[in-house]
Amino acid sequence: MKNIKIGIIGATGYTGSELVRLLTDHPNAEIKIITSESRAGEKFSDVHPQFLNICDDELKSINEISNYDLDIVFLALPHGVSMDFVAKNHHQKFKIIDLSGDFRLKSKSDYEHWYKMDHHFPKGIEDAVYGLPELFRDRIKDSELVANPGCFPTASILPIAPLVMEGLVETDHIVIDAKTGVTGAGVKAKEVTHFPNTNDNFKAYGVSNHRHTIEIQEKVGECTSAAVTVLFTPHLLPVDRGIISSAYLKPRKKVDQELIDKVFADHYGAEPFVRYRKVVPHLKQVRGTNFCDVFAQYDERTNTIITMGVIDNLVKGAAGQAIQNMNIIMGLNETTGLRQVPLQP
């Protein structure tokens, strides 16, 4: 197969950096343009020094993208900015994989309620396919616009979906308790991620109103005809990267551990990036990789199914999943360029 000609729009953040890191060793990827409006003219390795002599490409302005013949464009742009690019370029021949939240939801009104901003390209909402391959692979392969999932939703939906799809759990009150590393907040300095506020500390945020709540609820809802209500609380861990999401679900019928194990084996046994574990997983077992490690245990005393999903928020929660989606669109094996071994210790 010929090389895939790639543009990365927005290169100064963690997601842009991860895209370059992973695509550098992708056998079919050729990065043609990397953009940054604030650092145009500088080398990529000036912004991210770890890339010295690996990727020294000059950063270009987004206005130069028309000078390149591209197959895939990754948008590593903030919410509200991606929609402008898509509105301007949706007629171009390249496929777009958007890592922002601008096209993840199916409703303009839901987006405006949860993101607190206007959405002025509703056609993109209609056209976009949600890029969670394990659930929507068949839709992704023919899509012109992929809405790459959020990191919390990826870690939360994958451990819940098989139980919901099999009708084993009540869906009117799904409780999710999730923890993330500070890279989930982006590269720009903020008070919440200031070292003295995160080091040796642990706190909840976005209680009852985090924007990923509606994304999780909507996509879990696509797995069932029943009404779905999700209560989601995120927490900030004093670590660089990684997410662990725990959910608590009530069975609708009699279950036991053997049945639960079978459900997960049936759903994910052939999936290259979802590993069903028999022991509780942790962050370092997925660090730097596109794996989502899933765990489920039935607690007979409380009649509760406890599920866990563990990912690297910058890889399966962002750049790695975006590349997995690119592989699907371009007809490649999904694991191409994504065979990294977890970094532990």
Q: What is the DSSP string of 87-109?
A: HHHTTSSSEEEE-SSTTSSS-HH
CA 71 to each of CA 159, 261, 318, 326: distance values in angstroms, whole numbers, following the listed order:
33, 40, 20, 10
CA 65 to each of CA 9, 34, 88, 148: distance values in angstroms, whole numbers, following the listed order:
9, 9, 12, 21
Q: Is 236 exposed, middle or buried (0-12, 13-18, 19+ CB in 10 A)?
A: buried
CA nearest neighbour of 289 among 239, 331, 238, 241: 241
- Helix, strand or coil for residue 64? helix
Beta bridge partners of residue 172, listed in sequence order: none
CA–CA dist 314, 333 (Å, integer):
21
Long-range Cβ contact pairs of 296-299 (< 8 A, separation 24 or more): 296/159, 296/163, 296/260, 296/261, 296/264, 297/257, 297/260, 298/251, 298/255, 298/256, 298/257, 298/260
- Out of 55, 151, 223, 292, pick the active-site residue: 151
Catalytic residue flag (residue 55):
no
Write out the catalytic residue numbers: 151
